[in-house]
Amino acid sequence: MGLPLNIARRYLFAKKSHNVINVISAISAIGMAIGTAALILILSVYNGFDTLVEKNLSDLDPDILITASEGKFFDAGDPVFEQLAGDGRVSKLFCVLQDNIFINYDGRQGIALAKGVDEAYEEHSRLADHITEGEFRFRDGEIPMCVIGSTLSHSLGVHTWFVQPLELFYPKKGATISTVNPSASLESAKVWPAGVFSISTDVDAELIVVPYDIACSLFGVDDGKVSAIEITLSDGVKAEKFADSLDLGDGYSVKDRYRQHPAIYKMMRYEKLAIFLILIFVVIIVAFNIFGSMSMLIIEKKDDIATLRALGASDRMVRRIFVLEGWLISLSGLIVGLIAGVALALLQQKFGLVKMPAGFIVQSYPVALEALDVLWTAIGVAAIGFIVSISSVPKTR
Write out pLDDT tens, residues 324-375.
Answer: 888 998 999 999 999 999 999 999 999 989 998 876 778 899 999 999 999 9
Please tell me the number of Cα atoms within 13 Å of 17 on its side-chain side: 8
Q: Are 341 and 376 in contact (CB under 8 A)?
A: no
Query: Can you tell me the mean pLDDT for 20-36?
Result: 84
Give the C-alpha separation, 85 to 80, whole Å: 9
Give the mean model confidence (pLDDT) for residues 76-90: 85
DSSP-assigned letters across all residues of 80-136: HHHHHHT-TTEEEEEEEEEEEEEEEETTEEEEEEEEEE-HHHHHH-GGGGGEEEE--
pLDDT digits over 161-203, tens only? Answer: 888 999 999 998 766 666 556 666 789 999 999 999 998 888 9
Per-residue model confidence (pLDDT) at position 371: 95
Residue 393 pLDDT class (50, 70, 90 cuts): confident
- For residues 64, 70, 71 and 72, what is the CA-based torsion angle, rounded to 10 degrees? 10
> Is 141 exposed, middle or buried, given 0-12, 13-18 or 19+ CB atoms closer than 10 A?
exposed
At residue 179, the pLDDT reads: 58
Whether residue 16 has pLDDT greater than 60: no
Position with higher pLDDT, 394 vs 73 = 73
Rg (CA), the chain: 32
Beta carbons of 324 and 10 less than 8 angstroms apart:
no
pLDDT score for 304 = 78
In angstroms, rounded to a whole number, what is the distance separating the alpha carbons of residues 355 and 364? 4
How much is the pTM?
A: 0.76
The average pLDDT across 259-285 equals 90
> Region 383-391: what's the mean pLDDT?
90
Check residue 99 and give its pLDDT: 95
Q: Which residues contact 66 (CB under 8 A, 6 or more apart)?
A: 228, 229, 230, 231, 246, 248, 252, 253, 254, 255
User: What pLDDT sits at residue 205?
Assistant: 94
Strands 225-226 vs 74-75: parallel, antiparallel or unpaired = antiparallel
pLDDT, average across residues 123-133: 91
pLDDT digits (tens, 9 = 90+) for 249-270: 888 999 998 888 888 888 888 9
Q: For residue 20, is pLDDT > 70? A: no
- Of these ranges, 18-27, 71-80, 187-196, 280-289, the one predicted with the greatest mean pLDDT is 187-196
pLDDT at 206: 95
Say how far apart CA 233 and CA 257 lie, in whole Å. 11
